[in-house]
């Protein structure tokens, strides 16, 4: 029996690769899954998906290794032992598998546009009143405070930011990252701080209505790490980089960043975007079920929207009554 066990080990190929990810397969079109990994601080969701994607490949490779093993046992006259120990052989093949589809997919992927919300809302112009929700001076003060700057430091940049983001929005730092670097090694032990340095992309973006502006400021800023404030930009609609500005993927490369495990002083208020994202998900679900929601201002989630010349002029959804004033 001992001898047989030893022989089994010898018959099974030494190097096993059950997954063979094509170099053209990546996660660039799967930022929704990246976002799930960021939210849960775990790659588990991605592993679930990847094992599903490569299920057929895995079983056909497994079949190949089993056949290889069976043939070499057969030629030594051990066909019976193969039949008898097939499950153990299968286990051995799994144990020896050195390929990881998730690692390969990540290796093939590009960086992803992220933003870190500073939890600060800037109130700009609104459509119904002719003045700003707060003065430019007040808005600049809030930006400076969030960026740990004193008056006199980058005043012009900050004014440019506030004045060009006329409708206001959320104060954010944009940066590029391989998403797995923002998943901590131990899910129970999340990052404590995040440092932004280099030429930092600072934006005021309004994801609800789709507007905003950004500037680059040479900062060195360490903030407490609050996972709730970290987002894959494409997953928060309207996404600033893609839907609002149509930027190339490398647009926020100039922001350098690193996470840390030592707590950082100060606090960062919670972003409103988590709620917004949940609301969006509900709208999406309702739309996919064939219906729509009154008050959902994304016209893509309504059907048969028509223009009406009446007063006031605008577009109306005949199903839920949502109205877009002209
Ligand atoms: Zn066969
Ligand atoms: Zn509708």
262 and 306: one domain?
Answer: no
Tell how strand 211-218 and strand 168-177 pair up. unpaired
* Domain end (from 62, 91, 108): 108
Residue 276 CA to ligand 2 center (angstroms) comes to: 19
How far apart CA 208 and CA 156 sit, in angstroms, is: 27
55 and 155: one domain?
Answer: no
134 and 205: one domain?
Answer: yes
131 and 211: one domain?
Answer: yes
How far apart CA 264 and CA 150 sit, in angstroms, is: 20
Residue 326 CA to ligand 2 center (angstroms) comes to: 17
pLDDT digits (tens, 9 = 90+) for 137-152: 999 999 999 999 999 9
Residue 84 in 3-state DSSP?
helix
pLDDT at 265: 84
171 and 221: one domain?
Answer: yes
Domain that holds residue 282: 275-325
Q: Residue with structure tokens 């929704």?
A: 32
End-to-end CA distance of the chain: 83
Residue 22 CA to ligand 2 center (angstroms) comes to: 42
Low-confidence ranges of the chain (pLDDT < 70): 1-6
* Domain end (from 250, 272, 294): 272
- Cα dist from 279 to 32, 113, 121, 262, 267, whole Å: 16, 22, 18, 34, 26
124 and 260: one domain?
Answer: yes
Residue 273 CA to ligand 2 center (angstroms) comes to: 23
91 and 124: one domain?
Answer: no
Provide the domain count of the chain: 3
Ligand nearest to the CA of 64: 1
* Domain end (from 82, 108, 134): 108
Ligand nearest to the CA of 65: 1
226 and 125: one domain?
Answer: yes
237 and 147: one domain?
Answer: yes
How far apart CA 163 and CA 257 sit, in angstroms, is: 27
pLDDT at 3: 53
102 and 143: one domain?
Answer: no
pLDDT digits (tens, 9 = 90+) for 88-109: 999 999 999 999 999 999 999 9
pLDDT at 14: 93
192 and 222: one domain?
Answer: yes
pLDDT at 6: 56
Residue 325 CA to ligand 2 center (angstroms) comes to: 14
Phi, psi of 232 (to 5 degrees): -75, 120
152 and 250: one domain?
Answer: yes
Of 60, 98, 84, 71, residue with least CA distance to 12: 71
pLDDT at 208: 87
ipTM > 0.85?
Answer: no
């Amino acid at each position: 029996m001992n001898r047989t066990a030893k022989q089994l080990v010898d018959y099974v190929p030494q190097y096993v690769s059950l997954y063979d990810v094509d170099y053209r397969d990546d996660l660039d079109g799967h930022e929704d899954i990246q976002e799930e990994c960021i939210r849960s601080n775990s790659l588990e969701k991605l592993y679930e998906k990847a094992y599903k994607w490569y299920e057929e490949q895995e079983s056909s490779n497994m079949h190949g290794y089993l056949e290889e093993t069976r043939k070499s046992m057969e030629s030594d006259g051990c066909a019976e032992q193969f039949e008898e120990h097939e499950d153990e052989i299968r286990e051995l093949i799994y144990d020896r598998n050195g390929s990881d589809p998730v690692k390969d997919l990540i290796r093939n992927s590009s960086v992803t546009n992220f933003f870190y919300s500073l939890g600060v809302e800037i109130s700009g112009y609104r459509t119904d009143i002719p003045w700003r929700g707060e003065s430019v001076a007040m808005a600049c003060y809030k930006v400076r405070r969030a960026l740990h700057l004193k008056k006199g430091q980058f005043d012009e940049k900050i004014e440019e930011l506030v004045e060009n983001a006329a409708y206001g929005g959320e104060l954010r730092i944009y940066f590029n990252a391989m998403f797995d670097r923002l998943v901590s090694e131990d899910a129970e032990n999340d990052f404590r701080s995040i440092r932004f340095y280099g030429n930092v992309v600072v934006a005021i973006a309004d994801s609800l209505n789709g507007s905003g502006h950004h500037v680059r400021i040479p900062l060195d800023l360490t903030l407490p790490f609050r996972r709730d404030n970290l987002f894959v930009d494409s997953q928060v609609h309207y996404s600033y980089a893609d839907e609002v500005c149509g930027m190339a993927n490398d647009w926020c490369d100039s922001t350098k960043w690193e996470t840390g495990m030592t707590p950082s002083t100060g606090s960062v208020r919670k972003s409103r975007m988590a709620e917004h994202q949940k609301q969006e998900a509900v709208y999406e679900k309702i739309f996919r079920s064939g219906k729509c929601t009154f008050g959902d201002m994304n016209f893509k989630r309504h059907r048969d929207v028509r223009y009406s010349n009446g007063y006031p002029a605008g577009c109306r959804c005949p199903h839920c009554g949502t109205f877009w004033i002209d």
